[in-house]
Structures are given as structure tokens and as C-alpha cells.
A and B are shown apart, each in its own frame.
Chain A
Amino acid sequence: MIKHHPKFELIQAFVNGELPASLSAGIAIHADMCPVCQQKIAQFTDQVAEVSFEEQYLDRFIVDSVTADSKTAADSLDDSTEIDFEQMIAGIVKSPAEVSVPKVEKTIEFKGQRYKLPTALNNMALSKTAHIGKLSRTRLQLNEGEIHTSLLRIEPGGGVPEHTHKGFELTVLLAGSFHDESGDYNEGDFIMLDSSHQHHPISTEGCLCYTVANDALHFTQGINKLLNPIGSLIY
């Protein structure tokens, strides 16, 4: 039973394509396991699409963007773009239909334990796995500056030493379970923590997590700027 879900502000930013790949993938992985969020995403996508492609939406922008001209705003837009568009159509219809390739299921192995890789991670480059005690970690090389994304495997009985984060730390539990001072977490849980959280996760039966964390040192720039519109995410 999934108990922890992304906030709606995060789902909105996800649908709008405004989140970095690391967080987008985290939400996609969660939604794959969570029908409730899946439905929220589907509904919100329908709404955003409807609004994006409504005529009024377009009209509003035409009025804003067209400078003084003897023609009406709408005519001017058509004139300036029509020729390009005709060429574009002619070029596009020459291309053949895409042959769809069925998605290949990928797996990842940690010390003999094999896991199915979530589809969202299928084309992400993986680094070599580092082992520290009962922890194994593989970085996903997303090249997002201070945001670090990993697959973290905790062997049965293992845990992560008590820590806090000056930035944020997202954990999506892919398999197994763990617990900390706040409670138990199960497969599919989407756990977003910030600096106010101090925790010491322990996994009795072992688990695999997808984690995204940022480097606190640079928090006031990069990611913070990105997350400002959804500031309530970090409370």
C-alpha cells in the first residue's frame, strides 16, 4: 500500500515538463506503481492540453505579440508563417511512418540480486557501482549539476547513517521496504525530505531505492531557482 505521494504542485510541474529529468523520472516511476497519481496526472494533462490548444489562448497571444500593422493581428500571423508552414508540411509528409520497436525490459544486478529497471531509466547512462558495507550505489549520469541521482541498494539489515539534507532528498522505493523514525515505507512510496528532516533509514529485508539529492552548497542558485515556482514543495 503506497502511502507517500508527490504534492500536486510537483505533479503540475511534471506535466508541464518543467522539472529536471531526475525528478521527472522519480514521479514517472512512482506513477507507474500508483494508480491514484496516474489518474491525477492523466486528468491534469488533459486539462493543460485543452487549455494550450484553445483558440482563446492563441488569440490572447496574437494580441500581445503583434506590433502595429495595417492588417489585423490574425492576418499578420498567418502571412508571416504560412509559407514556412506549407514547406514544412510538404517535407514532413515525405517521411514514412515510424516502425515501433517494443520496449526492452532492462535489469540491474547488485551482488547477485537482480532487479527490473524502471522504464523511465531505460536510456540513462549508469556509472560503476560503489560498495560501502551493506550499501551499493550506482549513479545515473544525468549531468544536472548539483543534482545527484542514484540507485541505492541496501542489503538486509543495512541502513544509512543518520543524516540531514540542507537541500532536498527524494527517495522512491522501487523494491523491498525500509523504516525510519517516522514510520515504514513500502514499494512505490515517494518520499521527499528537506532540511527539517533528520532520519536514519534501516532496511530489515533489504531494498532498492531511486534517490535524487542536491548539493546544499549551491542550493541558493541552480535548483532553488528552478523550484521557486513550486516553493511549497520544500516546506
Chain B
Amino acid sequence: MQTNLLSKPTNDKSSHMSDKINHPQLCQWLQSVAQNRDQQAFTHLFKFFAPKILRIARGKFPNEAQANEVVQDTMSNVWRKAHLFNQDKGAVTTWVYTVMRNITFDMLRKIQGNKEDNLSDDIWPIAESMSTESDAFDDHLENKALLSVIDKLPQSQQDVVKGFYLREMSQEQLAKHLNLPLGTVKSRLRLALGKLKVQLGEKYD
């Protein structure tokens, strides 16, 4: 659902977000940080998130220095780990929330239990989100050659193949998801498989 928001075109160039979060804008900034180490994009992200993180942290830590540390460490991780963000897995807000929650969890554990074991990234991974999609992906398509062949299919056939084999959706679910008649889904899948077989040869039968 968040990914739908993200894929909407960015018409509103204004950076002022009065009542609603401008998800496409946040996404663009974070990707610019990930790809170009864009300091200005980071400054925009910082100005959006830092005051809010500070407010939330003040509710959890009575000590102002500790609240500041949450802001510092969270935004530092946003800068350093931006490349681990995957927009297909969710919104920027969700990702930054995860980073912030993990920093907070480890800090509280350090204060309360005097343990510096930093367990949060094992419990809530920030690289691969907890999604079956990535698992299914690894199981079936570790072979990059196969993926590259799929990527050469026409988009309409790619959608069906990826939905059916990588996301393990049924043909009925796919028809609904793609808003197509069931027969179209079936014929596209058949066409795509025919092409894949030709490309990959006998060994993938």
C-alpha cells in the first residue's frame, strides 16, 4: 500500500508538507543520498525527520543528551545506510522509523541492562525487510542469468511471470491484481514461459 503512494508521480514540487507526508519527495531524497551521497538531499531529510525524532526520543529518555544521541545516531545511520533502503519494500517513513526504533532499543538496553550487545538489527533487520518476497526470490531465482532473461520479456509478460513465480500469487490473484481477465493472465504466462524455454534451453525444463 505504501508502494502505491511512492509510485505516484511527484507533481507537487513544494517541500512544504502541511498536513500529509510527501512520500515521493522523501523517497527521491533518500535515493539521492544512496546513489550520489547528495548532502543537500540529506539536509532536507534531516530537517524533515530530526525535529520529530527529537520529540519522540524526549518521550523515551528524560536526559536531553540521550535524546540528542538518538537523533545523531538515527540520522547518521540514515546517511551511512541509505543504500540499504529498498523502495519496493515500503515507505521512507517506515525505514527511518525502523532505524530510529532500533537505535532507541539498543540504547535503552544499554542503560537498563548495562548490555552493549546491539541486538536490534538482528531482531528488526533494516536491510532486507521482513517480507516473504525476498525469500521466494532467493529460493527460485538465485540464478542471475534467469533473472536477466525475464527482464528482457515485454513488461506485460514480466508482470505475470514475476507475480506468479517470485511472489507466488495464484493466476486468479494476479488477474485481480493486474486488473486483467484470467484468460489474458494465462495466455501471457504461457507465452512468457515459451520464450524463457527458448532462451534458457533444456536444462531449466
Q: Which residues of A contact B (CB under 8 A)?
A: 15-17, 21, 24-25, 28, 31-32, 35, 38, 41-43, 45-46, 48-50, 52-58, 61, 65, 77, 81, 84-85, 88-89, 92-93, 95-98, 100, 119-125, 142-144
A85: B residues at CB distance < 8 A: 46-47, 50
Binary contact track B108-136/A, C-beta < 8 Å → 1, others 0: 11000111011110111101011110000
A17: B residues at CB distance < 8 A: 101-102, 104-105, 108, 120
Give Cα A80 to B147, complex, Å. Answer: 52
Shortest Cβ distance from A122 into B: residue: B122
Shortest Cβ distance from B93 into A: residue: A49
Given contacts A85-B46, A123-B119, contact A38 B76 (CB under 8 A): no
Given contacts A46-B94, A123-B118, A142-B115, contact A55 B18 (CB under 8 A): yes
19 of the cross-chain contacts (CB-CB < 8 Å) are: A15-B101, A21-B105, A28-B124, A28-B130, A35-B132, A45-B90, A46-B1, A46-B2, A48-B97, A50-B21, A54-B20, A61-B55, A85-B47, A89-B39, A98-B81, A100-B127, A119-B122, A121-B122, A143-B114
The answer to whether A42 touches B130 (Cβ under 8 A) is yes
What number of residue pairs across chains A and B have CB atoms under 8 A from each other? Answer: 145
Interface extent on B, as a size class? 35 or more
Q: Which residues of B contact A (CB under 8 A)?
A: 1-2, 17-21, 37, 39, 42-43, 46-52, 54-56, 58, 68, 71-72, 75-76, 79-84, 90-91, 93-94, 96-98, 101-102, 104-105, 108-109, 113-115, 117-120, 122-125, 127, 129-132
Give Cα A205 to B106, complex, Å. Answer: 38
A-B pairs, 7 with minimum CB distance: A49-B97, A49-B93, A98-B80, A49-B94, A17-B101, A17-B105, A28-B123
Give Cα A120 to B122, complex, Å. Answer: 5
Give Cα A38 to B136, complex, Å. Answer: 14
The answer to whether A58 touches B51 (Cβ under 8 A) is yes
Given contacts A97-B37, A123-B122, contact A53 B51 (CB under 8 A): no
The answer to whether B104 touches A144 (Cβ under 8 A) is no
B37: A residues at CB distance < 8 A: 93, 97
Give Cα A41 to B124, complex, Å. Answer: 11
B104: A residues at CB distance < 8 A: 17
Give Cα A209 to B183, complex, Å. Answer: 47
Shortest distance in angstroms between A198's beta carbon and chain B's nearest beta carbon? 31
Give Cα A7 to B98, complex, Å. Answer: 21
Cβ contact of A42, chosen from B18, B56, B81, B131, cutoff 8 A: B131
